[in-house]
Amino acid sequence: MIDFQNVTKSYAGEDILRNVTFRVNDGERAGIVGPNGAGKSTLFGIITGDVVPDSGSVVIPRDHRLGVMRQHISPADTPRPLLEFTSDAIPELRVCEKRLAEIEALLARDCGSDARDSLLREHGVLQTRFEHLGAYHLDLEARQALSSLGFPVESFSRPLGEFSGGWQMRAALARVLISHPDVLLLDEPSNYLDVPAVEWLCRFLTGFPGTLMLISHDRFLLKKLTSVTFEVNARTVTRYPGGYDFYRTERDNRMKMLEAAKKNTDRRKEQMERVIDRFRAKSTKAALAKSMQKKLDRIEDVDLPDSLEYRGVIRFPAPPPGGTEAFRFEHVSFGYTPGKILLKDVDISVDAGSKCAFIGYNGLGKTTLLKLLTGRLKPVSGRVVLGHHSVIGYQAQEFSDLDADGMSVYDAVRQALPPGAPTANLMNVLGSFGFSGDAAAKLCKVLSGGEKIRVQFARIFVNPPNLLVLDEPTTHLDVAARELLQNALREFPGTVCFVSHDIEFVRGVAQTILALENGGVKKYFGGYDYYLEKSGAGSSAGPEDTRGGGASSGGLARDRRRARAQARQAISGQYREAKRKLAELEKKLDEDSERKKVLIAKLSSGMKLDFAALKRELAAVEKSLAQTEEAWEAAAEETEALRLENLRINDAEKSPGKPPSGT
């Protein structure tokens, strides 16, 4: 287990974590969630020893091996071939291998029988350890993992430094996955992955037998892989005994209860303050006012945690009218170098109002297709035809970071106006994206990731489009901001074409899938789940888990059944335990209530009894009754939440969603 005890960590005098206490049990699959900057990565740094807490302690079993995906590659590793770097996943193997070679060299010399026996025993122990760590399987597992993450076999011998930063991170991910650690720490592992690689990662991790701690804004991974959730927010860590959906429901319920408690407390304090002010002016009521003031001072304020709900606004202005067809590709071929065709004979059309996601491995041409659509690239052959009055709004990958840090939000958006265009409607556009009044004067350099995405869309919508073309719009957005954008795009009446590696975002927006396959594009007239069913993409083989795990042991349907069964089993167990605890508390309430009645009857009987002792016992029973009532209320809420979650999972099992008809 990993045990945090009263851990505090500050940066520049500001607490990131304050007296944090929580525990991750062996074998748990923990999702770590919270807003950007709340301290999620700091938790990982404290576990690995890279960050030293200001106070408190962290206990990790000595015999547990940590597997950590680092966000930076050591310069010493960049000259190494890709396969060699990935296979070198367990440092302990290098130590074993070196010592085995030394022993074999010593045995080759003449030495006494006692020394020889000692060396042979040590050699046997090390050889067993060497084999137990999987030394003879690592090369094969590295090849399988690299292939599943999109590396072609011919690239295995290339130096790591020749790859881009994103591909280096994929290699680092493959390296840590095949190391078979006891505790696996993954910080945003899907940031550099395309959708097929995310699907493979999910299947691989489903079979991981150790303790998993996952920091992610990817709701797909959180829902599929985690069974317990830790929220890092407002300098503390809160444990929720369920996966992501359970956490969201339970957190909403807790927030509603806290808000109601705060409202009641604030109202009571206001009432008392008014009475005190009125009584204080009267000499006959001054003592009473002083007594009430003491009671008021003892009432504790109810503090609400920082909200994880994204408070910004994304409200797309109405698009201009257009034709029934948004665009079409007529036998389009394209290549960046002569003689090397990336896209060949692409022939597709998209109706106005469609929500289309481009799906495929990185390097197959998803971004290239978007650039061809927007006219930033010209086809080698064929043509791209826009529909009648189609107006494009384009957000490119390289546009994700505003090059306007010194500007205000108002100036950054005004800069996007066509030359000579009037600015009369500019404030209306800014208001549509949550920048009304003083918010329009904020400098871009102080904006959060969610605010920057709203500025980007405001820049697009100063000339309202009816065809939105978006390349990775969720990059650097936390969960709440992604959900806000997802809902806005779903409700946008115009056409949306986008590329995203966030599977839950694709599932929530796309109604049509355009899949890149073998240099062409195949159209699926349905959402992401329909595409998986028709294409068989969810059951493509990943690397085989040599320990019998689920990396390649079935398709997506089997993974879903297994995940549902695991979720149902976990929730059912928690629900049974919660009901047992609730029954015990109810029994205790009945016992205390009955004892209270007996004591009151004795005190009022008039008999000669030890009244002092009876009163002391009555006070103890009343205190126990109050404590038990409080515990019962909390247990009843938890039991009800688990009951609803259990019903939801059972309903999902009985009524799986049907894909839309069509081909």
pLDDT digits (tens, 9 = 90+) for 226-278: 999 999 988 899 999 999 999 988 988 888 888 888 888 888 888 778 778 87
pLDDT bin (cut points 50, 70, 90) of residue 38 is confident
- Residue 539 tokens, joined: 């059951």
- As given in the structure block, the two tokens for residue 279 are 């009584």
Q: Is the pTM of this model over 0.75?
A: no
Rounded to the nearest angstrom, the gap between the alpha carbon of residue 560 and the centroid of all alpha carbons in its chain is 19
pLDDT digits 0-9 by tens, 553-599:
344 455 555 555 665 666 677 777 878 887 888 788 888 888 888 88
| Domain regions of the chain by residue span | 2-89+137-247, 91-133, 325-539, 556-654
- Single-letter amino acid, residue 557: A
Task: Give 129 or 425, the one with higher predicted confidence.
Answer: 425
CA 653 – CA 566 distance, rounded (Å): 12
Would you state the pLDDT for residue 20?
Answer: 93
Counting residues of the chain whose pLDDT is more than 90, the rounded percentage is 29
Residue 614 token pair: 């009876």
pLDDT at res. 401 = 46
- E-strand stretches of 290-414: 325-334, 343-351, 355-359, 381-386, 392-395
**What does the pLDDT read at residue 334?**
94
- Which two tokens mark 246? 């359970």
| Residues listed for the chain | 663
| 219, 479 contact by CB (below 8 A) | yes
**CA 193 to CA 500: how far, in whole Å?**
10
pLDDT greater than 80 at residue 642: no
Which segments of 227-352 does DSSP mark as H helices, in order? 244-280, 286-298
Angle between helices 556-603 and 195-206 (to 10 degrees): 60
pLDDT digits (tens, 9 = 90+) for 350-405: 999 999 999 988 778 899 999 999 999 999 999 999 999 999 999 876 544 455 66
CB atoms within 10 A of CB 542: 24
2-89+137-247 matches 325-539 in fold: yes
Q: What distance in Å separates the CA atoms of residue 203 and residue 532, rounded to the nearest whole number?
A: 14
Compute the average pLDDT of residues 507-515. Answer: 94
| CATH number assigned to the domain with residue range 2-89+137-247, chosen from the 4 options 3.40.50.300, 3.60.10.10, 3.30.1450.10, 2.40.30.10 | 3.40.50.300
Secondary structure of residue 37 in the 3-state scheme: coil
How remote is the C-alpha of 494 from its chain's centroid?
A: 29
- Domain 325-539: which CATH number of 3.40.50.300, 3.40.50.2300, 2.120.10.30, 3.30.2310.20: 3.40.50.300
- Chain mean pLDDT for the chain: 82
Residue 626 in 3-state DSSP? helix
Residue 345 has what pLDDT?
93
pLDDT at 217 exceeding the cut of 80: yes
Task: Write the DSSP assignment of 245-271 as a string of letters.
Answer: HHHHHHHHHHHHHHHHHHHHHHHHHHH
pLDDT of residue 371: 94
What's residue 211's pLDDT?
94
Consecutive H or E run containing 228: strand 228-233
